[in-house]
Copies of this chain bind each other. A is one copy, B any other.
Amino acid sequence: MVSERHPRYRSLALRNKLVRGYEKGITSAHGLIAHGRGEAFDYLLGEKTTENALEATKVACAYLLTAGHPVISVNGNTVALAPEEIAEFCTITGIPVEVNLFHRSVERITKIADYLRACGVTDVMTGLDSVELAGVASERAKVDKRGIFAADVVFVPLEDGDRAQALTRLGKVVLTVDLNPISRTALTSTVTIVDEFTRAMKNLVGFAKRFQAENSQYRLHTLKATFNNSENLKASYAAIQRRLQVLSLR
Give A residues with C-beta under 8 Å from B.
2-3, 5-8, 15-16, 18-19, 22-23, 29-30, 32-41, 43-44, 137-138, 161-162, 180-184, 230, 233-234, 237-238, 240-241, 243-245, 247-248, 250
The 4 closest A-B pairs by CB, nearest first: A36-B36, A40-B40, A33-B36, A3-B137
A80 smallest CB distance to B (angstroms): 12
B6, B37, B137, B248: the one within 8 Å of A238 (CB): B248
A8 smallest CB distance to B (angstroms): 7
Chain B residue at minimal CB-CB distance from A4 = B137
B162, B241, B247: the one within 8 Å of A6 (CB): B162
B8, B40, B181, B184: the one within 8 Å of A36 (CB): B40
Q: How far is the CA of A197 from the CA of B171 in the complex (A)?
A: 40
A245 smallest CB distance to B (angstroms): 8
Q: How far is the CA of A238 from the CA of B245 in the complex (A)?
A: 8
Q: Which residues of B contact A16 (CB under 8 A)?
A: 30
A18 touches B2 (CB 8 A): no
B35, B181, B241, B244: the one within 8 Å of A33 (CB): B35
A44 touches B182 (CB 8 A): yes
